[in-house]
Structure 1
Amino acid sequence: MRGPYIGENLSSRSPFCFDPWEAYTAGIVKSHSLAITGVKGTGKSMLAKSFATRLCRMGRNVAVPHDPNGEWERVSEYVGGKTISIDLSGSFKINLLEAGERDTTMSGEAWRNHITQDRRGVISQIVQQLRRTHELPPYEHTAIDIALRSLDTQTIVTVVHVFQALRDLTPDGDEVDEDVVVAGRQLAHTLRRLVAGDLAGMFDGISTVMFDPTAPMMVVNTSALKNASPQMQALTRFATSRWVRNATTGSNVRPRVIVHEEAAIALMNDAYGGTGLKDRVTDEKVARHMGVSNWYLLHRLSDLDALGDHGSAMQTQARGLLADCETRVSFSQHPGEIPAMAQVLGWNQTMSAVVKNELKKGESLWQIGADRVALVKNKLSDGEFNVFRTDHGGSGA
Structure 2
Amino acid sequence: MNSTQSAGFVRDDADRVSRRELAAKRKQLAKAASDTRKDSPDLPWVWLPEKGERHPNNLRTARAVRPPLHRGSSTTLGVGYPFLAETSDAMPGAFIGPDLLSKGMFSWDPWVAYGMGIIRSHSMVILGVKGSGKSMLAKSLAARLCRLRRRVAVPHDPNGEWARVAEYVGGVTVQIGPGAADRINPLDAGTRPAHFTDENWAYEQQQYQSHKLQAIVKILRQTTTLPEVEHTIIDLVLQNVRARNNHVLLPAVWDELRDPTGPNAAEIRDGGLQLQHSIRRVIVGDVAGMFDKPTTVTFDSDTPMVTVDTSLVSKASDEAKALMRLTTNDWIDRSSTGTADQARLVIHEEAAVALLTEVASGSGLTQRAADEKVARHHGKANLYVLHRIADLDALGDTGSAMHSQALGLLADCDTRITYAQHPGELGRSAAVLGWNDTQRELVRKLQKGEGFWQIGEDTLRHVRNVCTTTEMHYFATDTHGGSRA
Same fold at TM > 0.5: yes
> Deviation per CA, 1:71-111, whole angstroms, max 9, x where unpaired?
11111111111112223126443211112122222222112
Instruction: Give the match for residue 247 of structure 1.
Output: 335
Per-residue deviation, 1:289? 1.3
Aligned 8 A contact 1:103 1:249 in 2? no
Q: Which entry has the higher C-alpha Rg, 1 or 2?
A: 2
Question: Against the structure 1 CA distance between its residues 313 and 251, is the aligned structure 2 distance closer, same or farther, given a 3 Å change threshold?
Answer: closer
- Residue among 363, 372, 375 paired with 1:284: 372
How many aligned residue pairs are there? 392
Instruction: Give the match for residue 101 of structure 1.
Output: 191
Aligned 8 A contact 1:170 1:181 in 2? no
Matches within 5 A, 1:200-349: 200-251=288-339, 254-349=342-437
- Residue among 457, 463, 466 paired with 1:376: 463
Structure 1: which 4+ aligned runs deviate by more than 6 Å? none
Per-residue deviation, 1:130? 0.8
Matches within 5 A, 1:93-132: 93-132=183-222
Mapped pair 1:363 → 2:450 = yes
Question: Against the structure 1 CA distance between its residues 253 and 187, is the aligned structure 2 distance closer, same or farther, given a 3 Å change threshold?
Answer: farther
Aligned 8 A contact 2:340 2:380 in 1? no
Supply the distance in 2 between the matched residues of 1:292 and 1:191 (Cα, whole angstroms).
34
Per-residue deviation, 1:201? 0.7
Instruction: Give the match for residue 166 of structure 1.
Output: 257
Q: Secondary structure at the match of 1:271?
A: helix
Aligned 8 A contact 1:323 1:344 in 2? no
One-letter amino acid matched to 1:345: L
> Deviation per CA, 1:166-216, whole angstroms, max 9, x where unpaired?
3344795xx7775x5433222122111111221111101112333333211
- Residue among 229, 237, 248 paired with 1:157: 248
Mapped pair 1:137 → 2:227 = yes
Supply the distance in 1 between the matched residues of 2:158 and 2:200 (Cα, whole angstroms).
37
Instruction: Give the match for residue 110 of structure 2.
Output: 20
Supply the distance in 1 between the matched residues of 2:199 and 2:484 (Cα, whole angstroms).
54
Q: Secondary structure at the match of 1:151?
A: helix
Q: Secondary structure at the match of 1:150?
A: helix
Supply the distance in 2 between the matched residues of 1:26 and 1:158 (Cα, whole angstroms).
47
Aligned 8 A contact 1:213 1:252 in 2? no
Moved more, 90-99 or 362-371: 90-99
Aligned 8 A contact 2:365 2:405 in 1? yes
**Structure 2 unaligned regions, length at least 5:** 1-90
CA RMSD of aligned residues (A): 2.0
> Deviation per CA, 1:301-339, whole angstroms, max 9, x where unpaired?
222333343333333322221121111010111121122
Supply the distance in 2 between the matched residues of 1:285 and 1:24 (Cα, whole angstroms).
14
One-letter amino acid matched to 1:255: A
Question: Against the structure 1 CA distance between its residues 170 and 88, is the aligned structure 2 distance closer, same or farther, given a 3 Å change threshold?
Answer: closer
One-letter amino acid matched to 1:388: F
Per-residue deviation, 1:231? 1.0
Q: Secondary structure at the match of 2:360?
A: coil
Mapped pair 1:73 → 2:160 = no
Per-residue deviation, 1:65? 1.2
When normalised by structure 2's length, the TM-score is: 0.77
Supply the distance in 1 between the matched residues of 2:211 and 2:390 (Cα, whole angstroms).
30
- Residue among 179, 185, 189 paired with 2:277: 189
Aligned 8 A contact 1:34 1:293 in 2? yes
Aligned 8 A contact 2:176 2:290 in 1? no
Aligned 8 A contact 1:65 1:241 in 2? yes
> Taking CA–CA contacts closer than 8 Å with sequence separation of 6 or more, which of the two structures ends up with the larger relative contact order?
1
Supply the distance in 2 between the matched residues of 1:290 and 1:212 (Cα, whole angstroms).
17
One-letter amino acid matched to 1:75: V
Aligned 8 A contact 1:389 1:395 in 2? no
Supply the distance in 1 between the matched residues of 2:439 and 2:149 (Cα, whole angstroms).
33
Supply the distance in 1 between the matched residues of 2:153 and 2:248 (Cα, whole angstroms).
26
Supply the distance in 1 between the matched residues of 2:262 and 2:141 (Cα, whole angstroms).
58
Q: Secondary structure at the match of 1:65?
A: strand
Per-residue deviation, 1:264? 1.2
One-letter amino acid matched to 1:206: P
Question: Against the structure 1 CA distance between its residues 86 and 126, is the aligned structure 2 distance closer, same or farther, given a 3 Å change threshold?
Answer: same
Matches within 5 A, 1:2-13: 2-13=92-103
Question: Against the structure 1 CA distance between its residues 108 and 319, is the aligned structure 2 distance closer, same or farther, given a 3 Å change threshold?
Answer: same
Supply the distance in 2 between the matched residues of 1:234 and 1:352 (Cα, whole angstroms).
35
